Structure formats: structure tokens, C-alpha cells
Structure 1
Amino acid sequence: MRVMQRKLTTPFYLLLSLPSTAMGFALSVQISALSWLLTTQFGLDIHQVGLVWAAGPIAGILGQVFIGIISDKVWFWQGRRRPFILIGGTLAGLMLLALPNIDVVSASLGFSGLLGVAIAVALTLDLSINISFNPTRAIIADVTPEGAARTRGYTWMQTVSGSFGVLAYAIGATWGNFVLIYVGAGLVFLLSIIPPFFIKEPKELVISHVESANEKISIAKVLLNIKPLWGFILYDIYAIALQLSGIKTTHYWAEVIAAVITLFFILITLFVKENHVERSKNNTIGFKKILAAHSFSWLGVQTMFVFIFAFLQEKMPTLTDDDLGKVIATSFLILSAVSALLPAFILTPLAKRFGRVNVHIGCLTSMAIGYGLVAIFGMDKHVLFLLMALLGFGWASIISLPFAIMSEKVEQSKMGLYMGLFNLSVVLPQLLVSLGVGLFINNIADKSLVFQISAVSLAISALAWTQVKDSQAQKMTMLLK
């Protein structure tokens, strides 16, 4: 073990953040360029773009859970997480190279339509990202102790990743999305391949509770752990079945029923009492509450990521295709710049003073307000850019603090599994956005609905987080007593 790792120095935190940064950069390229590329270069409509984006969450459902379970148990290439980071990073780089060449790939395979090839490329890209994302986050929990050190690990992860995200959107805003894609392919490969060889993983994971560690994993127990997400699962299955069968509906009864089921399971989860000894009793209620709260954050954020282009096309009709791409890239550049600066330098000290959950609630509230303002005033690009800075507070927190909070509510020796299950609170809402919200937005003339949905979702998420207890704050209270 190198000295910087043993002493948990800042250079080590920077190094530890690079594999996750590689996947974050790949995701930034996907967010900035995919919708723009499919609409302006390959002529797909809003509904088809939603289908392509649906491929990613499907990959996430399969990829992160299974890779998480496997990486908890295996050991090869001198690592538990390392092999999956190396494999996923290589595949992600290759798929980024394929993105601007979907038409070439389609022609070389003898296919006349682009949609199927676009879905295949997006699916492989997101599966590659998900193969690596789980291990890149789990490895931080593996090599840092609980408490402030782990919070620092995840906030540095977002600071470094966010800084590279700024670079991604700066490249897209300055030189265009094609340059961004090719630069991204090289960076993703390098940041995935080199850093893992300088991080020493523990061959035996810490067991926080023997009974929980020895408990066998079953489908039934996995489903019970994700009970707050059952409504999302049911609707996603229904929506996928409709897409595959070609059945068209003119009503929203299924959506209403799914919403009622989702709210029911989320409410009964949130109002169950949580206490500081829950993990030692093999009770994962704290983890379930985080799933419930975090899912609504991603419902709102993903709606913006996927459909901001539709909002801008309506509100700024004079923009050319290239200008539209640059406005989107600049918007996400500002979002990423703010979210890169906050975690390590502002969120960490605030979390230490006021508690991680309280700080997260404040950031989500600011994001909900920001989304509401974009829906009203976002037709001017300069106002949009200013409001994107406000949204950066919420985004910075969403992709840093929940990981630290969640990692201390589950069995440490099963971190890969729980990271995979935690990811379901991201990918299941993403899938709902692609399959359900996309159809709804496509049928509504006023695309301000994009940010109205985002605002309501973030407000619900902030309220849900008020029912989550902060393990770090609880430990401090016990020590004071």
C-alpha cells in the first residue's frame, strides 16, 4: 500500500476519483451529444430519441446489480473492482467512437434503419458505463473508513468528476459535439486504465455485522430491499410491453395507477421509524428511505437531461441546429462548473457542521426553485445560463452526498450489491422518463412542461429526504450523550 493511500492524503483522493471521473465524462458526452446527434444528424423524432435513451436504464438495471454482486465475491487481476473498471472503460471508449458513426455502422451491417443500431450502440455504451460505475463508487467505500473520510472521498469524487464534466461541456460549447465525442473516447480510456493499478484494494472486505454478511442473496430479498421502487418497475414493464407490441393507447389510466402504487410504497417506507442500530439488526429501512427519496431526484433531473432540447427548440426557434447544440452544451457547462466547485470545498464543511442530510435537502430545494424559474423565464438564453448555475447546487449534492449517506446504512461486505440496488433509484426513474414522460411531453404543445415536471419531482424528493436519518449525525449525538 502506498503512503498516500495509508494516510488518505488529498492526492490519493484525487487518484481514487479518476475511474469514476472517466465514467462521468462518458456520461457527460452522452448527455451533451446523444439527443442532439440523433435529432439533427440522423432525423429521429422526440419519441424515437426517448426509446434510444431507454436503452441505457435497461442496461443499468442489469449491469450494476449483477456486477455489484459479482465484484463483492471475486478476486482477480489483483483486485475486486479493478477488473470491471478496466473492461468497462475500454468498452465505453469504443462505443463513444461509434456514436457519430451510427449511419456507417448501420450501412456496414446491411441495415436500412438507424433506430435499431442507435439503440444497440446506446445500450452497449451505457452497459459499459454501468459495468464500471458501480465498482468505481464501491471502491471508495472499500478503501475509506466510515464518517468524514468517506464523505470526503465521495465529495472529492464529484469535484474531480465535475471538473472534467466542465471540460466536456466546454469542448462541446467551443468546438462542437463531434470534437467532444472523440476527445471523450480517449480520456475515458486513459482514466479507466491507468489509475486502478495505483490503488490497493483490500482482499477481504470489512464485515460490519456477521449475521447480515452471512445472509444469502435471493431474488425475494432483493425485491424487498427495493420495495419503494415497485411502482416504477411495474410501469416500466408495462411501457416496454406496449412498445414491443406496438399497441397505442389514448388514455393515461396506467400512468395514474402506477403513480398511486409508487406513492403508496414510498409513503409507507418513509414513515417507518429508523434508528441508529438498524444495520446491526439486519434492517434496511434507512436504505429503502434513501431509494424512495433519491428516485424523485432523478425523475426530475433526467427529464431535463433528455428533453431540454425540445424546450429550447420551442422557446428559441431562431437557433440553428449547431447553435442549439452549443446552447445545450453551454448550459450543462455552467451546471457542471458549479457542481464541480461545491462538493469538496463547500458541501463537505457544511455537511460536517449541519449534517449531510440537511445540506442535501437545502440543495434539492434550491434546485426545485431553479427548475420552476426556468419553466417561466428560460426562453432567454442568458437567463437560462444564470438559472443553470442555481441548478448546479442541487446537482452537486445529488451525485455526491447520497453515496456517503447510503454507504453507512448497509452491510460493508456487500457494498457492490447495495451500490447496484441504489443505482435502481436512478435507472428506473430514467426509464420512466424515456417511456412515459417522453410520450406525454411529445403530446403537449407547451414544452415548459419539461421543467415543471422537474420542479415538482425535486420538491417531492426534498420532502422525502426529511424522513432520512443521518448516521454520522446520530453517532455524534450518541458520543455527546
Structure 2
Amino acid sequence: MLSIQKKLSAPFYMLLSLPSTAMGFALSVQISALSWLLSTQYGLDIHEIGIVWAAGPIAGILGQVIVGFISDKVWFWNGRRRPFIIIGGVLASLSLLALPNIGIINESLGHVGLMAVAIAVALSLDLSINVSFNPTRSIIADVTPAGEQRTLGYTWMQTISGTFGVLAYVIGGFWNNFLLIYFGAALVLLFSVIPALFIEEPKVLEGENKEADVKFSWYEVLSDIKPLWGFLVYSIYASVLHLTGFEVKHYYFEILALLITLYFVFETLSKNENDFSESDAKHLGFKKVLAAHSFSWIGIQTMFVFCYAFLQEKMSTLTTEELGQTISYSFAILNAVAALLPALVLGPLAIKFGRIQVHAYALLVTAVAYALIAFFATTPMIMYLFMALAGIGWSAVVSLPFAIMSERVENAKMGLYMGLFNLSVVLPQLVVSLGVSLFLNKADDKSMVFVVCAISMTISAVSWLMIKEKPVPDVNAN
């Protein structure tokens, strides 16, 4: 074991963050380039782009839960997370290389259909990322004790990952998205493979009973994701509509799904963990985190996928190249804030005032920023200013919930629950791609993009404030 790992020093946290950084960088490339490529190079409209983006959440549902469960139970190449980090990194690097070549791939296959090829490429990239993403986050919980060290692990993860995310958007804005894609392919390969070889994993996790055969239970899984049932039902419904081509000219099911979601979310949040046994209280605590976290991703995903449509309307004088640069710089600024705050600001504040309180108020700041963008962002400079403000909540979303969630589940099932936790990300993303996209496509004023974002972040912030802070263990206590 490296001495920096024994000491849990800053260099080790940096090393530990690199695999997650690799996957985050791959996502940054996708966010920066995919919608732009599909719109400007291949002429797809906003709804078609939304369908392509739906491939990612589907990959997340399958990949992260399954890989998470498997990685909890296996051991090879001297690790339970290492093999998946390495394999996923190699595949993600290769998939990135396919992004700028969607047209060529379509021609080589005999023009099977641009949409079909775009979905296939997006799905292969997302499956590759999801093979690694869960293990890159689970390994942090595996090698850090609960409390301040784990909070530092996840805030350092976001600081390093966010810093390289900024680099991604700067490359895309200052040079072009094609250079970004090829640079990203090389970085993803290096940052996923090399660090994984030097991080030593514990063969037996804290609280793990090697004699007990922990089986996968669909009943338990469905019970644990109860707050997400509304998202799940709507995702299935909307997917069937898209696959069959059946057109519905009303929003009755959308309204019903929203009401179901709100009911289960606030029904879960209203329960008191003290009224349950220790085991049931852990499950309830996990459900509460899912409930609160889910709505923030409606706001985040809507911004990422449809920001370009908002800018096209509000800044119509921009050329295609200028539009791409504005999107890249906007996301670069968003991620610059998200890179600086976690380890330097959010971590210390969370230790002092509580992770949940800090997280909730950060989301409220972003909700305000989204509202300001919706009504006042008419030039790139104004957009950049408000995106910097929005970065406060983004920095919290991608760091603090992992530390909060990881202490509400069994260490021996960390991979499985990290995968289930990801459902609070991917199911809302599917709702955005399959449902919100329809609404925004028909909206005459694309300011509704950020109105939807602001409302979603506000609901999420209120939900987090309904969760009781879990005491953080004092690692200095004798």
C-alpha cells in the first residue's frame, strides 16, 4: 500500500479522484459536443436529440445497478472495483472516438438511419461510462472511514473532476469540439487505467460477513426505490410510446405521473426514522436521499440538454460557431465554480453546519440563478455571470449527496446501493429526454427551459430540508 494511502493525505485523495475524473470528463465531452453535433452537423430537432439522450439513462439503469451488485461480490485483478474501472475506461475511450464519426459509421453500414446510429453510439458510450462510474465512486467509500475523511474523499473527487471538466469546456470553446473529443479519448484511457493499478482495495469491507450469501432481491430493490416509482412508471410509458410511434395529444398521464411522484416523495420524507428498527431506518434514510436528490436532476439535465435551444432563441444573432462557444464557456464557468467549491468551501462548511443544510441552501442559490437566466440572460456575458451562480448548487449535487448516502447503507452492499442511488439521476434524466423535451419543443418561449430548472431545484431543496442530519462520527475520539 502506498504511504499516501496509509496517511489518507491530500495526494492520495487526488489519486483516488482520477478514475471518477476520467468518467466525468467523458460525460463533459458528451454534454459539450453531442447536442451540438446532432443539431448543427446532422440537423436533428430538439425532440430527436432528446431521444438520443435517453440512451444514457437507460444505460445507467442497467449498467450501474448490475455492475454495482457484481462488484460487491467479486474479487479479481486484486480488486472488486479495479477490473470494472479499467474495462470501462478502455471502452469509454474507444466510444468517444466514434462520436465525430456518426455520419461515416452510418454510411459504412449502408445508411441504416442517422438516428439509429446516433442512439447506438450514445448507448455504447454511456454503457462504457456506467461500467466504471459506479466503481469509481464506490471505491472512495471502500477505502475511507465514515465521517470527515469520507466527506473529504467525495469533495476532493468533485474538485479534481470539476477542474478537468472546466478544461473540457475550455478546449471546446477556445478550439473546437472535435479536438475536445480526441483529447478526451486519451485522457479517459490514462486516468482510468493507471490510478486503478496503485489504489489498494480492502478484500473484506467493514461490516461484511463473508459467510453470508447476500442475494439480489427485486422486492427489496423496488421497495428501496419507492420514491422513484412515478419516474419509473412514466419512463416505461413514454418509452413504449416512442418505440411504437403512437401519438398522444394530451398530458393526462404526465400529470398523473407527476402527482404519483410528488406523493411518494413527500410520503417518504414525512416519516420519522426513529419510529423504525435500525435496519428499517437505514432503508428509510436511503429512500429519503433518493427522494430529495431526484428533482435536482430534472433541473440539471434540462439545463444540459436544452441550454442550446434557449440560447438559439434568446441570442439569435450568434453564428453556429459562436453558439457552440457560448455553450462551452457557460458550462466551463459552471464547472469552474463546481471545481473550486467542494474541497475548499463546501467540505469545511458541511463539517461545521451539516452536509444536508449546506447542500439544500446551495440548491436554492442555483434555483435563483436559473430564474435569473430565464428572464434576464440576453447576452453571453450575462449568461456567464448567472451560470457562475448556478455552479454553487451544481458543486453540491456532484459531491455532498454521495457522502450523505454512503453512510445510510451497509458497506458490504455499497456497489449495489450506489447503483440504486444512480436511479435518482437516470430516471429523472429519462423523464427529461422523453417528457420534458415534448413540452419544451412545443413551448413558444424557450425561457421555459430554465423555468422548469428553477422549479425542480426548489422542490429538491425543500425536500432535502425535510431530512434529519445524521451525526458525523468523531474520528478523533478515543
Query: For this structure pair, what is the TM-score category when the shorter chain's length is used for normalisation?
Result: over 0.9
How far did 1:110 drift?
1.4
Q: Deviations over 1:221-272 (max 9, x none)?
A: 1000000000000000000000011011110001011011111111110000
Query: Where does residue 458 of structure 2 map in the other structure?
Result: 459
Spell out, residue by residue over 1:394-421, the C-alpha distance to the aligned partner (whole angstroms, 9 max, x if none): 0000000000000000011000000000
Cα distance in 2 between the residues matched to 1:33 and 1:279: 46
2:319 — aligned with what? Answer: 320
Per the TM alignment, residue 187 of structure 1 is displaced from its structure 2 partner at its CA by 0.4
What amino acid is the match of 2:178?
F
Cα distance in 1 for residues equivalent to 2:418 and 2:246: 35
CA contact (8 A) 1:231 1:259 kept: yes
Pairwise mapping of residues 196-275 of structure 1 onto structure 2 (< 5 A)? 196-207=196-207, 216-275=215-274
CA distance in 1, matches of 2:326, 2:183: 20
Rounded to whole Å, the distance in 2 between the matches of 1:159 and 1:46 is 32
**Are the counterparts in 2 of residues 276 and 471 from structure 1 also a CA contact under 8 Å?**
no
- Which residue of structure 2 lines up, in the alignment, with residue 56 of structure 1? 56
Question: Do structure 1's residue 173 and structure 2's residue 212 form an aligned pair?
Answer: no
Give, in whole Å, the separation in 2 of the partners of 1:397 and 1:276.
30
Farther-moved stretch of structure 1 (162-171 vs 212-221): 212-221
After TM superposition, list the pairs within 5 Å mapping 1:270-281 onto structure 2: 270-275=269-274, 279-280=278-279
- Please name the residue that 1:127 is paired with: 127
Equivalent residue, structure 2, for 1:397 = 396
Distance 1:191 1:5, change over 3 A: same
TM alignment of 1:135-214, pairs within 5 A:
135-207=135-207
In 2, Cα distance between the equivalents of 1:313 and 1:61? 32
* Letter aligned with residue 8 of structure 2: L
Q: SS in structure 1 opposite 2:32?
A: helix
What residue number does 2:348 align with?
A: 349
* Paired residue type of 1:297: S
The aligned residue for residue 448 of structure 2 is 449
Deviation at 1:207, TM superposition (A): 1.0
Report if aligned partners of 1:212, 1:282 keep a CA contact under 8 Å in 2: no
CA distance in 1, matches of 2:459, 2:220: 27
Find the aligned partners of 2:427 and 2:189 in 1 and give their Cα distance. 27
Q: Which amino acid aligns with 1:125?
A: L
Cα distance in 2 between the residues matched to 1:8 and 1:399: 21
- The count of aligned residue pairs is 475
Whole-angstrom CA distance in 2 between matches of 1:213 and 1:190: 37
Partner of 2:296: 297
CA RMSD of aligned residues (A): 1.6
Q: Structure 1, residues 129-179: CA drift from partner, whole Å, max 9, x if none?
A: 111000000000000000000000000000000000011011011001111
The alpha-carbon deviation at position 111 of structure 1 amounts to 2.4
State whether residues 315 and 379 of structure 1, in contact with CA within 8 Å, keep that contact through their aligned partners in structure 2: yes
Report deviation, 1:217: 2.5
- The answer to whether the Cα contact below 8 Å between 1:95 and 1:121 also exists between their aligned partners in 2 is yes
CA contact (8 A) 2:56 2:122 kept: yes
Q: In structure 1, what is the Cα distance between the partners aligned to 2:214 and 2:119?
A: 38
The within-5 A match list for 1:4-153 is 4-153=4-153
Range with greater deviation from structure 2 (462-471 or 396-405): 462-471
The separation in 1 between residues aligned to 2:79 and 2:26, in whole angstroms, is 23
Superposition deviation, residue 470 in structure 1: 2.3
SS in 1 for 2:271: coil
**1:414 to 2:391 alignment:** no
Superposed CA deviations along residues 321-364 of structure 1, whole A, max 9, x for unmatched, are 11110000000000010110000011111011101011001100
Deviation at 1:318, TM superposition (A): 1.0
Cα displacement (A) at 1:279? 4.7
Partner of 1:198: helix, strand, or coil?
coil
Tell me how far apart the structure 2 counterparts of residues 284 and 211 of structure 1 sit (CA, whole Å): 22
Change (3 A) 1:293 1:88: same
Corresponding residue number in structure 1 for 2:361:
362
Q: What fraction of aligned residue pairs are identical, expressed as a percent?
A: 63
Cα gap change, 1:164 to 1:255, in 2 (>3 Å): same
CA distance in 2, matches of 1:155, 1:240: 35
Structure 1 CA distance, aligned partners of 2:213 and 2:398?
30
Tell me, in whole angstroms, the C-alpha distance in 1 between the residues paired with 2:120 and 2:193.
24
Could you tell me how far apart the structure 2 residues matched to 1:346 and 1:390 are?
15
Contact 1:212 1:411 (8 Å CA) reproduced: no
Shift of 1:282: 6.3
Partners of 2:236 and 2:112 in 1: CA distance: 28
Paired with 1:211 and 1:368, the residues of 2 have a C-alpha distance of 46
Quote the Cα distance in structure 1 between the aligned partners of 2:447 and 2:212. 48
Shift of 1:281: 5.0
Query: Alpha-carbon deviation of 1:319?
Result: 1.0
Stretches of structure 1 that go unaligned for 5 or more consecutive residues are none
Query: What is the CA–CA distance in structure 2 between the aligned matches of 1:279 and 1:416, rounded to whole Å?
Result: 21
Q: 2: distance between equivalents of 1:315 and 1:213? A: 59
**1:304/1:451 contact within 8 Å kept:** yes
Q: Distance in 2 between matches of 1:189 and 1:62?
A: 23
Number of the residue aligned with 1:468 = 467
1:335 aligns to what SS in structure 2?
helix
One-letter code aligned to 2:330 = S
TM-score normalised according to structure 2 size: 0.97
User: CA separation in 2, counterparts of 1:399 and 1:287?
Assistant: 17
The answer to whether the 8 Å contact 2:356/2:469 transfers is yes
Partner of 2:376: 377
Instruction: Compute the displacement of 1:381 (Å).
Output: 1.2
**1:277 Cα deviation after fit:** 8.5
Residue 469 of structure 1: how far off its partner (Å): 2.2
Question: Do the aligned partners of 2:273 and 2:281 also contact (CA within 8 Å) in 1?
Answer: no
| Partner Cα distance (1:386, 1:152) in 2 | 28
Distance 1:269 1:281, change over 3 A: closer
